[in-house]
Structure 1
Amino acid sequence: QWLKDDCPKTDVGGFVVGSKTESATLYCKSSTVLAGVPFVNVVLEYCNLTVRWLIAEGMPIEVDSAGKVVVAVVSGDARNILLAERLSLNILSRASGVASASRRAVAIKQAKGWHGYVAGTRKTTPGFATVEKYALLVGGASTHRLDLSQMIMLKDNHIWSAGNITNAVHKARQAAGFSAKIEVECQSVEEALEACAAGAEIVMLDNFTP
């Protein structure tokens, strides 16, 4: 679908380079954690290209004063290399950025001796959530929840609509049964205590001062 979005009809520029066999070298120009390799492999395979990765998924890449590090070499028809180029770079750039940020956050958590989880929210890029959530895992963080069906999360709008936290939690429990976890976003200690008393398994402290 990504390729169809990028090239819905014909890549006219591809006719300029033709179908001669070429190789393209993928460089990384800034330090990061490599992520997104499985998704790029699918894109390249779809375009009948082969790839040799010199750095494994999840490995840190340290860019020195030389300014770039070879990550992979792609081979195949020149027009297909150009067709897959931008999409592959977009996937790697986005996924590696998310993995790098999550790994930094996990490192800070560990340095502080905190034993909780670092988890990414559902505030993802539309159509790209799977890649971004996967990249969180590569970086060492958790995904919190992949979509609305995985866990019930009651935010301020749910609570306002239900009247109060207790009503919202009870309605959610009636709808979901005993097996689903309920998380409540709370803006005060009093709200957090009410959520716990109502039966919420997880309390999110919204904009609390540490």
Structure 2
Amino acid sequence: MSESTPQESFGHLLPPSWTTQVTSWLAEDTPSFDYGGYVVGAAPRTATLYAKSPGILAGRPFFDEVFRQCSCTVTWHIDEGTPLDPSSDPTNKIRVATVEGPTRNLLLGERVALNTLSRCAGIATSTRRLVSALRAAGYDGIVAGTRKTTPGFRLVEKYAMLVGGADSHRVDLSAMVMLKDNHVWSRGSITEAVRSARRAAGFALKIEVEVQSEEEADEAIAAGADVVMLDNFTPEGVQVAARRLKERWAGKRHFLLEVSGGLNIENAASYVGRDIDILSTSSIHQGVPHVDFSLKIDH
């Protein structure tokens, strides 16, 4: 295995139960007989993982676990988080890893491992692209993904955001209290919603409130919100509101300002401002292209 890098350390975030997800993926893909496996048998073979399109390598722990459960071993030749550019190679593909094991088992894990790696790398690539664009535009705040993830695949998608250089925001409903319009309408007011949330969450969890106007932001801050999300503001409107809020509450209350709603690689730079602490978006993980990988048995 290659030497550890800071990017690889994200694998240590994964909870003890995460390998059961891989078990369920394999069970879904082969619910009964493996007819192709019967054809090829169990003779030991090696296979090479190739990258065939540009992107960021991400998803090594998941790829490893698929093949571990298939009694195969993986040797990586490229570190997690490394940019891949197949056009730089005469063959238009890059040798990324070698997998060894019984022939049947190599093919048993092939599609599950490739699908996971391709999706994870695609999100990391999209994330890296947006983060780089915002840094180039002078933004040094937090870039975050959202909870609009795929049920059953959230762990992979949130992991990919981290590898790509973004903040994972709240991973699930238990990670932070986010009070959106439906919460506020159901409770009656922002103030009552925040008070109720604080009673349950205590001091350990931050409370974020989604607001539609500067007046609502003032109410959220006065009620004790830790983070205020300016949702679906125009670029010009968010700059004005953020500046006035920070000036008005300077020295009185500490809070973070988050901007969200329709941000993507084309328009995110227009929201950059010194008073904005967080830019969050689902564009880095929803509908993004996959990175193309293939696994070929050596012959």
What residue number does 2:38 align with?
Answer: 15
Amino acid of the residue matched to residue 125 of structure 2? S
User: Match for 1:88 among 113, 131, 154?
Assistant: 113
Q: What is the Cα deviation at residue 104 of structure 1?
A: 1.1
Q: How many Å separate the matches in 2 of 1:54 and 1:176?
A: 45
Query: Partner of 1:162 in structure 2?
Result: 187
Indicate the larger mover: 86-95 or 172-181.
172-181
Distance 1:207 1:30 in 2: 34
Q: CA deviation at 1:14?
A: 0.8
The Cα shift of 1:170 comes to: 1.1
Higher mean alpha-carbon deviation, 185-194 vs 76-85, is at 185-194
175-184 vs 134-143, greater mean Cα deviation = 175-184
CA distance in 2: counterparts of 1:67 and 1:189, whole angstroms = 52
- Structure-2 separation of matches of 1:178 and 1:55: 43
Whole-Å Cα distance in 2 between the matches of residues 54 and 75 of structure 1? 14
2:54 aligns with one of 31, 39, 64: 31
Q: Deviations over 1:55-108 (max 9, x none)?
A: 111111012064321211212111101100000001110110111111111111
In the alignment, what sits opposite 1:54? 77
Deviation at 1:178, TM superposition (A): 2.5
Specify the alignment match of 2:29 in structure 1.
6
Q: 1:141 matched to which residue of 2?
A: 166
Deviations 1:18-59 (A, max 9, x none): 112222221111110000001111111111112221211111
Query: Counterpart amino acid of 1:6?
Result: D
Q: Which amino acid aligns with 1:99?
A: A
SS at match of 1:208: coil
Residue in 2 aligned with 1:200? Answer: 225
- Residue by residue over 1:163-193, the C-alpha shift from the partner in whole angstroms, topping out at 9 and shown as x without a partner, is 1211111111122123321001111111111
Q: What is the CA-CA distance between 1:9 and the residue it aligns to? A: 2.0
Instruction: Tell me the CA shift for residue 7 of structure 1.
Output: 1.2
Distance 1:12 1:189 in 2: 62
Q: What's the TM-score once normalised by structure 1's chain length? A: 0.96
Distance in 2 (CA, whole Å) between partners of 1:185 and 1:67 is 46
- Among the aligned pairs, what percent are the same residue? 60
Unaligned runs of 5+ in 2: 1-23, 236-299
Structure-2 separation of matches of 1:177 and 1:75: 51
Superposition CA RMSD, Å:
1.2
Q: Which residue of structure 1 aligns with residue 104 of structure 2?
A: 79
TM-score where L is the length of structure 2: 0.68
Match of 2:293 in 1: none
Once structures 1 and 2 are overlaid, which stretch shifts more, 66-75 or 30-39?
66-75
Task: Show structure 1 runs of 4+ deviating over 2 A.
Answer: none
1:115 to 136, 140, 149: 140
Matching residue's letter, 1:47:
C
Q: Report the counterpart of residue 245 of structure 2 in structure 1.
A: none
Structure 1 residue identity aligned to 2:117: L
Aligned counterparts of 1:68 and 1:193: Cα–Cα separation in 2 = 54
Q: Distance in 2 between matches of 1:121 and 1:49?
A: 35
Counterpart Cα distance in 1 of 2:214 and 2:133: 26
Of residues 151, 160, 180, the one that matches 2:176 is 151
Q: Which has the higher contact order (CA 8 A, sep 6+)?
A: 2
DSSP 3-state at the match of 1:64: helix
